[in-house]
Amino acid sequence: MRGRGGNIRGRGKNMRPPFLGRTFSRPVYDEYFFTSSEETEQKDDESGLAEELRKKDALLKPTLEDEASLRNLLTKITGIADNLIVAPGSFTGCQLEEVRAVGSFKKNTMTRLNLAPDVVFVLKTLPMKEAVEQLAQKVNEDLRAQGGILGSYVECNNRGFTIHAEGRKVHCLVATIPQNIRNLDRELHLDAKVVIANSCAIKHSRWFEENGHHPSVRVLARVLRDLAARFPGLNPLKPWIIDFLAHHCIMVTESGYTLSAAQGFHRALALLAAGIFLPLSSSIADPIADRMMYKIHGSLPLEDQDLVCMTAQSLVRILHHGGWKQILGLEGKLNLDKPVIINGITISPQERVYERPVKAEDGSDNTGNEEMENEENMIPAMLTG
């Protein structure tokens, strides 16, 4: 700068440092937070959406026969694990700390699209790959020894192993006690991110069991899981994100009253379309994250955040023109990549807003701190459901 002493480069001794720009998160517009339940309930009921949601939920819920069969297999597997905790006998492959049922079957949000319960085996010892294989074989052997189980076999994978029996399967996820995490070696053990994600599944199931008991929350969670499976633009929404979004849309209101499933459905699509999972949104905080106010969508790459918002905007336009049957898959099949005609109204496809920057000559790219943060904090959403 130019000062009294002549041409002086840099700032003076007592001068204030330059102001560094800072971006702040901001909330998105939420009609159902500021509108009372009575004002919107009649509108939703008149539209027929509530009845269609009940029909869709009935189609999504597993049959009583499926539930009984899965529960029987899951009970036998957890019983075998409990025996290994109390009396391992000659088994020395690893030591078990506890076993917990987790996922959509435990939360009662399972759909017919994925009839596979999840259970987490927490090891006292380090989760060596060979030890996981030995544990898988031991569980399968004991399962066969019990009788009544025909043709059971086991498949190992990067998250643990899967038990197949009588046309059913149970995903067995392997975790370890917290003090072992820092000692994991990628070459010898299961990947640390996977192990932590498996541990998070226990926290997710416990939280949802305590807070997501309202029937409308479970209905909405099942319907949103179905949407995420049928519309590619919603595929990035992981099961934990969907479950917590369903809870937020039903339970979190200014008046304190819970909303109906139809209202929650409207609200969920409206929030996604308004950009609740975009970078500068205040979003909703993950209740089980170790870091305070960690955004529930913090694990989503920027491309996926844009894709989810774009897809939801198309669905909201279709919903507002009376196309809820098409959205729920009860009538026809929607392709959001092409123009959609609903009640004589043509709804054109949305266009992407975000494009990944082209890499510079030095191999670096300008993706911003938000995406770097996503890569570092991807663990909380790495769940099967």
In the chain, the domains with their CATH numbers are 23-60+212-385 (1.10.1410.40), 64-199 (3.30.460.10)
State the pLDDT confidence band at 40, using cuts at 50, 70 and 90.
low
Within 8 A by CB and 6+ apart from 63, the residues are none
pLDDT of residue 152: 87
Distance CA 27, CA 263 (A): 20
Residues 48-99 have pLDDT tens digits of 899 999 999 999 999 999 999 999 999 999 999 999 999 998 999 999 999 9
Give residues with Cβ within 8 angstroms of 116, minimum separation 6: 105, 162, 168, 169, 170, 171
Identify which has the larger pLDDT, 146 or 18: 146
β-strand pairing of 168-176 with 118-123: parallel
Residue 230 in this model has a pLDDT that exceeds 60: yes
Looking at residue 356, what is its pLDDT? 82
Provide CB contacts within 8 A for 213, sequence distance 6+: none
pLDDT at 368: 43
Residue with tokens 């392709």: 335
What proportion of the chain, given as a percentage, has pLDDT over 90? Answer: 63
Q: What is the pLDDT of residue 72?
A: 92
Mean pLDDT of the chain: 85
pTM for the model stands at 0.84
Spatial separation of the C-alpha atoms in residues 251 and 357, rounded to whole Å:
39
The average pLDDT across 8-15 equals: 50
